[in-house]
């Protein structure tokens, strides 16, 4: 995000809808927060029950925050935020 865009946001107010990237695919999103369940739904994947957890990781969140999103939790959304959804169970 360039400095120009930053100051433009401050003058005009935050954009109503922005783009987030889930598994490399762009999605339009207009809410302040996103939940684990919503991310995996948008990713076209789903956990089947508590034993079949799919990992959700995010980057470039608010204040450039990154981390993993767990079931039942939500995270503040940022323009250009990355989400990765994968079952991390192979060895």
Partner 1 sequence: MKLKSIRGCFFMLKLQIDHSSDLKRLRDEGYTVYIKGGILFVEDIPYVNSKCEIAIGTLISTLTLLGGRAKYDQDHKAYFIGNAPCHKDGREMSEIINTKGTQNHGDEIISQMMLSSKPEGNYRDYHHKMTAYATMISSPAQSLDPIATPKKHKVFQEVENDSMFHYYDTNASRASISHIADKLKPYKIGIIGLGGTGSYILDFVAKTPVSQIHLFDGDEFFSHNAFRAPGAPSIEELNTGMKKVEYLEKIYSKMHRNIIVHPVYMNEENLPLLDTVDFVFVAVDEGSVKKVIFSYLDDKNIEYVDVGMGVSIKGDKLSGMLRTTSFMTSHSKRLQASINYSNAEDDIYGSNIQIAELNALNASLAVLAWKQSAGFYQSLIDVEQTMFTLSTMNLIRTEDAA
1 is a site residue for partner 1 (CB under 8 A): no
Strand (E) or helix (H) holding 12: helix 3-12
User: By CB under 8 A, what part of segment 25-54 binds partner 1?
Assistant: 45, 48, 50-54
Q: End-to-end distance of the chain based on CA atoms, in angstroms?
A: 38
CB of 58 to partner 1, least distance (A): 8
86 is a site residue for partner 1 (CB under 8 A): yes
Contacts of 35 (CB under 8 A, 6+ apart): 72, 73, 74
68 is a site residue for partner 1 (CB under 8 A): yes
89 is a site residue for partner 1 (CB under 8 A): yes
């Amino acid at each position: 995000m360039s400095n120009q865009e930053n100051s433009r946001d401050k003058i005009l107010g935050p954009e109503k809808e922005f783009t987030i990237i889930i598994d490399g695919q762009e999605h339009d999103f207009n809410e302040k927060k996103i939940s684990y369940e919503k991310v995996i739904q948008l990713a076209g994947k789903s956990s089947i029950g508590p034993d079949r957890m799919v990992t959700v990781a995010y980057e470039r969140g608010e204040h450039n925050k990154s981390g993993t999103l767990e079931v039942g939790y939500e995270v503040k959304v940022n323009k250009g935020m990355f989400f990765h959804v994968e079952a991390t169970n192979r060895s």
